[in-house]
Amino acid sequence: MNVSMVSRMSSPATSSDREKVVSKLPGWLRQNLKVRAAQRGIEIQAAVEEGISAWCDLASATAAVDTAGADSFATFLPPGQWEGFRRIAADRRVSLIQGLAQSVQLWLETHPAPDIERPSITRRIVVCNQKGGVGKTAITAGLGEALAEDPDTLQPVRVAKALTKALRASEAHPDEAEPDDDPLDIENLPGPGMRVLLVDFDPQCHLTNQLGAAPLPMNGDSLTNHMAGDPKGDLGDLIVSIDDDTFNGRLHLLPACNDAFLLDVRLSAVRAREAALERALAPLEADYDVIIVDCPPSLGLSMDAAAYYGRRRDGETPGQSGALIVVQAEDSSADAYELLTTQIDDLRGDLQVDIDYLGIVVNLYDSRRGYIATSSLQGWVDIKDPRVVGLIGDLKEQKEAVRVKEPLLSYAPKSQQAVGMRALAREVL
């Protein structure tokens, strides 16, 4: 008997002191049970046990549940519970299937989905690295999508231990490290349901284009205008929603405009220019739990403004907001990393602000490239502060999603990359 066949959520196997019960449950009820148990972080068998126990304690049966189309459902209960339930069901003249359905329904009604915990200060994540093509835009989009996913739907997530394992494997056997090969390290979890704004802060407009939106026209309003203190309207009016069932109106994008190429020039005339991005985005914050800024591959004034926007605010816990650095598992990334962290450290010193690092994401990892990839990965892991919070493989789905201009997590929700983005979201949360 193997409990993990039924549910492999947390807590140790209890097969030895439980008995297997096979009955029937309609598919919709089984699905609701599965989702709610995951939302509340409890095993399905424990939820059924609680439901049956509560149902048996009632004075009479509850309202009849539609059990049409019920099919096989197996679970594990404490010894004797099913026998007691069977007697009570007989007394109440309900079938075992109806009694079980009522028990599960009762548990669902008394155990509602937990409220989503929203940060009191909107979290700001600045995705940066002045080295081009390392995957800043891909990570911005994937992370935002993962944070906005539906809290009532389960999606596969690679849990943190899998990352740790891959890293350890790369230490022990540099040739065998695979970040994403073991399906047993994948867990089905509900989406975080965050309200997310993605800010395309790069004049190349890559994020805007990849998500199928249009760059803002040159002669209209733009983030650059707002930062330069020359707005033509509300910045919020420029925002578009990335529509897809799984994001259900929670994933928004502030598109870029080519005028951002002139940002550094226009900022040079602005007072306290490092605060320009903050001033521009502040009116939007009330509508979002998380704002993610996709930085351009450069180290200019705009990078200063982005880093400053990610600084720790009064009353904010360390590590809630800050810089997320995307690197590639190859040696040439290391120099770029030094430059970037030097600039951020200088800004910290010059302006006397705290800018936290949220971690390093190693992207485009491919262990088949052998020693260069694995030893570089090890190099990133060895930095330790900040630590590696994400490892994303070099896989085709990302490029395909870009080609068809769809969010990766809608285009390939079960892909290893999507699974990795969800793991990253949970590391950053």
Ligand X SMILES: Nc1ncnc2c1ncn2[C@@H]1O[C@H](COP(=O)(O)OP(=O)(O)OP(=O)(O)O)[C@@H](O)[C@H]1O
Q: Which does 379 bind (CB under 5 to 8 A by kind): Mg ion, ligand X, none?
A: none
Q: What is the 3-state secondary structure (H, E, C) of 81-94?
A: HHHHHHHHHHHCCC
The residue within the footprint of ligand X, chosen from 363, 374, 410, 415 (CB under 6 A), is 363
- Which pairing describes strands 19-25 and 71-77: parallel, antiparallel, or unpaired? antiparallel
**Of 76, 73, 61, 91, the residue nearest 27 (C-alpha):** 73
The residue within the footprint of Mg ion, chosen from 206, 226, 252, 422 (CB under 5 A), is 206
Please report whether residue 333 would count as binding ligand X according to CB under 6 A: no
Residue position matching structure tokens 């600084």: 311
3-state secondary structure of 295: coil
Q: Which does 225 bind (CB under 5 to 8 A by kind): Mg ion, ligand X, none?
A: none
Binding residues with Mg ion: total (CB under 5 A): 3
Please report whether residue 395 would count as binding ligand X according to CB under 6 A: yes
- Nearer to ligand X (CB atom), residue 189 or residue 401: 401
Please report whether residue 136 would count as binding Mg ion according to CB under 5 A: yes
Please report whether residue 97 would count as binding ligand X according to CB under 6 A: no
Task: Supply the minimum distance, in Å, between the C-beta of residue 133 and ligand X.
Answer: 4
Binding residues with ligand X: total (CB under 6 A): 20
Please report whether residue 316 would count as binding ligand X according to CB under 6 A: no
345: which 2 tokens? 């450290």
- Which residues does 91 contact at the CB level (< 8 Å), separation at least 6? none
- Which pairing describes strands 186-190 and 154-158: parallel, antiparallel, or unpaired? antiparallel
- Nearer to ligand X (CB atom), residue 138 or residue 216: 138
The residue within the footprint of ligand X, chosen from 29, 46, 138, 186 (CB under 6 A), is 138
Query: Is 380:388 a contact under the CB 8 Å cutoff?
Result: yes
Task: Supply the minimum distance, in Å, between the C-beta of residue 393 and ligand X.
Answer: 6
Name 390's bridge partners. 361
Task: Supply the minimum distance, in Å, between the C-beta of residue 201 and ligand X.
Answer: 10
What does the buried/exposed string (b/e) look like for 272-306 if buried means 16 or more CB atoms within 10 Å of the residue's CB? ebbbbbbbbbeebeeebbbbbbbbbbebebbbbbb
- Nearer to ligand X (CB atom), residue 68 or residue 404: 404
141: which 2 tokens? 């989009």
Q: Which stretch binds ligand X (CB under 6 A): 246-254, 346-354, 394-402, 421-429?
A: 394-402
The residue within the footprint of ligand X, chosen from 398, 410, 415, 416 (CB under 6 A), is 398
Please report whether residue 399 would count as binding ligand X according to CB under 6 A: yes
Please report whether residue 133 would count as binding ligand X according to CB under 6 A: yes
Query: Is 177:377 a contact under the CB 8 Å cutoff?
Result: yes
Task: Supply the minimum distance, in Å, between the C-beta of residue 223 and ligand X.
Answer: 16
On the question of a cis peptide bond just before residue 386, with omega within 30 degrees of 0, the verdict is yes
**Of 204, 194, 208, 274, the residue nearest 238 (C-alpha):** 208
Taking the C-alpha atoms of residue 24 and residue 115, their distance in angstroms, rounded to an integer, is 30
Please report whether residue 297 would count as binding ligand X according to CB under 6 A: yes
The residue within the footprint of Mg ion, chosen from 7, 75, 98, 137 (CB under 5 A), is 137
Task: Supply the minimum distance, in Å, between the C-beta of residue 260 and Mg ion.
Answer: 12
The residue within the footprint of ligand X, chosen from 105, 137, 222, 416 (CB under 6 A), is 137
Task: Supply the minimum distance, in Å, between the C-beta of residue 131 and ligand X.
Answer: 7
Q: How many helices (H) and strands (E) does the chain have?
A: 16, 12
Please report whether residue 222 would count as binding ligand X according to CB under 6 A: no
Please report whether residue 159 would count as binding ligand X according to CB under 6 A: no
Please report whether residue 394 would count as binding ligand X according to CB under 6 A: yes
- Determine the distance from the C-alpha atom of residue 331 to the mean position of all C-alpha atoms in its chain, rounded to a whole number: 28
- Which residues does 173 contact at the CB level (< 8 Å), separation at least 6? none
Please report whether residue 135 would count as binding ligand X according to CB under 6 A: yes
Task: Supply the minimum distance, in Å, between the C-beta of residue 134 and Mg ion.
Answer: 9
The residue within the footprint of ligand X, chosen from 6, 94, 364, 428 (CB under 6 A), is 364
Taking the C-alpha atoms of residue 323 and residue 421, their distance in angstroms, rounded to an integer, is 17
Q: Site map for Mg ion, 115-134, x if CB under 5 A?
A: --------------------
Query: Is 313:291 a contact under the CB 8 Å cutoff?
Result: no
Which residues are at the interface with Mg ion (CB under 5 A)?
A: 136-137, 206
Which residues are at the interface with ligand X (CB under 6 A)?
A: 132-138, 202, 204, 206, 297, 363-364, 392, 394-395, 398-399, 402, 417
